[in-house]
Structure 1
Amino acid sequence: MSTIEDAAVWLAAADPDPIHARRWIGSARIILLPLGERWSAVKVSEHQGLAAAAALRGPSIHDPSGQCVYFLVAPHTVWDAPGSECLGESYWLTVPTPAVKEPPGPYWLRAPDGSGQLVDAEELRAQLGARSVSAAGAASVKQP
């Protein structure tokens, strides 16, 4: 199987009806999948998310219309980083199919490879924290 096929199988497994999900993945650009069972998603502002995604491994989705980035993390991740939120059980996410890597609509910054690798929440927290500190430092520099 190719990486795209592996990723499609992996994504479809998140749906309560994986056969239905495989049909959607094979015929559409996006699919609505539940969160909290196979993975959760940390939602971050577009600016912070795009910068952090460049430094992280694991699946991340850019949603240009929502001006945000979603990072797929382990289910039941405990999350407390300011300016972001972790979406888990009782949430559903619009997920691009594995081959969608550019707009229109949501697309993968880093598509899953089917292995089950997720974004490490601690690394994500560190990236977001480092960017918040540098942004705060830049804002406190006085202009002449």
Structure 2
Amino acid sequence: MPAASDAAAEWLARADPDRSHANRWLQSVGLVLLPLGIRWCAVKTREHEGLAAAAEITGPVIHDPSGRVVYFLVPVSAGRAWDCPHSEMLGLACWLGTPAPDRLEPPGVYWVSPPDGSGLLVDPQALRTALTRRSEAVS
């Protein structure tokens, strides 16, 4: 992995209670199951709305083509009052299959916008605005 991917992989691994476990999975399989609600939460959306919203925001975004869903990594604080239509906040007691930072295309789960290793997450207000706009356009 290039240096930026190394920093992002290390940032992802810090979400696992056992960093070495996460690093092994990221390096060998290219995917690791990470707990949510500790370092970040994830907003799950339908594929079409999620990909459209991802084009308008910055921060880490995962696409799962087989599940036809998109996940936005957001701060834990966003989970307290999430009320955006056609989306679901995933937090404590949830886990997310997270691809290696250099996995940027299918097959399988991949990053639409990978983490940069700095800790930058998706701004929940910007995401809410983008998803609401998509929801209103569909209605």
Partners of 1:21 and 1:129 lie apart in 2 by 34
Displacement over 6 Å in runs of 4+: none
1:37 aligned partner, one-letter code: I
Partners of 2:134 and 2:22 lie apart in 1 by 36
Secondary structure of residue in 1 paired with 2:49: helix
Answering whether residue 93 of structure 2 is matched by residue 93 of structure 1, we say: no
1:90, CA displacement in angstroms?
0.5
TM-score by length of 1: 0.91
Amino-acid identity (%): 55
The CA deviation string for residues 4-47 of structure 1, in whole angstroms up to 9 with x for no partner, is 00000000000010111111111112110000000000000000
Residues 76 and 88 of structure 1 are in contact (CA less than 8 Å); yes or no, is this contact kept in structure 2? no
Residues 36 and 76 of structure 1 are in contact (CA less than 8 Å); yes or no, is this contact kept in structure 2? no
Q: Tell me the residue number matched to 1:37.
A: 38
Partners of 2:134 and 2:27 lie apart in 1 by 37
Q: Tell me the residue number matched to 2:4.
A: 3
Residues 85 and 135 of structure 2 are in contact (CA less than 8 Å); yes or no, is this contact kept in structure 1? no
Secondary structure of residue in 2 paired with 1:112: coil
Partners of 1:58 and 1:80 lie apart in 2 by 20
**Bigger-Rg structure (1/2):** 1
1:38 aligned partner, one-letter code: R
Q: Tell me the residue number matched to 2:69.
A: 68
Partners of 2:138 and 2:96 lie apart in 1 by 29
Partners of 1:39 and 1:58 lie apart in 2 by 12
1:8-27 to 2 correspondence within 5 Å?
8-27=9-28
TM-score by length of 2: 0.95
RMSD over equivalenced CA pairs, Å: 1.0
Structure 2 residues without counterparts, runs of 5 or longer: none
Partners of 1:67 and 1:133 lie apart in 2 by 20
Please, which of 98, 113, 119 is the counterpart of residue 116 of structure 1?
A: 119
Secondary structure of residue in 2 paired with 1:41: strand
2:74 aligned partner, one-letter code: V
Answering whether residue 134 of structure 2 is matched by residue 135 of structure 1, we say: no
Count, aligned residues: 136
Q: Tell me the residue number matched to 1:139.
A: none
